[in-house]
Amino acid sequence: MGLFVVFISAITHALSAVVIKRINAPLTGVESTLGGLTVAVPLFLMAMLISSEEVSLDIPELAWGAIIYLGVVATALGFSLYYFILKNMDTIKVSMITLITPVTALLLGAFLNNESLMLSVLLGAISVVAGLGIYEFEKDLNGLTKRFAKADSSLVCK
């Protein structure tokens, strides 16, 4: 049931982003985020009250800091910037954010929290970054390849 709800939330978020972009809604990033949070927060509170899990507020200070960071920076500021970028950039380029975010999280965890990175995970992250680089700089790479091919053919012909 939980996976189904997460799936529905991902579809709903993607659909809202596409509709906002398609109709060119005159919304700022802050307005879009506020609208989403206005729907999401009451639903989270209802789910918390309905669940059979006991809610404890006896949480370590570091965890409170993480919760506040996730609420303020990652959610409010992050989504406001995301919707601002979505309004002002090509949708396909904005969708690349979802590919680079996990790589950034892995690197931050490794450097700031001394988390270990397995070689396979590191190679996967490098593959994602390389793929994004190829996509982003495809025109430059094609021009460079043509220039090298032209230079190589002029050497062979002489």
57 and 101 inside one domain? no
Single out the residue of 42, 31, 36 nearest to residue 13, CA to CA: 36
- pLDDT tens-digit readout, 96-151: 777 888 888 899 889 888 898 899 999 999 998 898 888 878 877 777 677 666 66
| One domain for residues 37 and 112 | no
* Structural domain of 25: 1-90
Q: Which of 90, 106, 135 marks a domain boundary?
A: 90
Among candidate residues 72, 90, 108, the one where a domain is terminated: 90
pTM: 0.57
Domain tally, the chain: 2
Determine the distance from the C-alpha atom of residue 116 to the mean position of all C-alpha atoms in its chain, rounded to a whole number.
22
Looking at the fold, whether 81 and 130 belong to one and the same domain comes out as no
CA distance 136 to 142: 12
Query: Which of 69, 90, 111 is at the close of a domain?
Result: 90
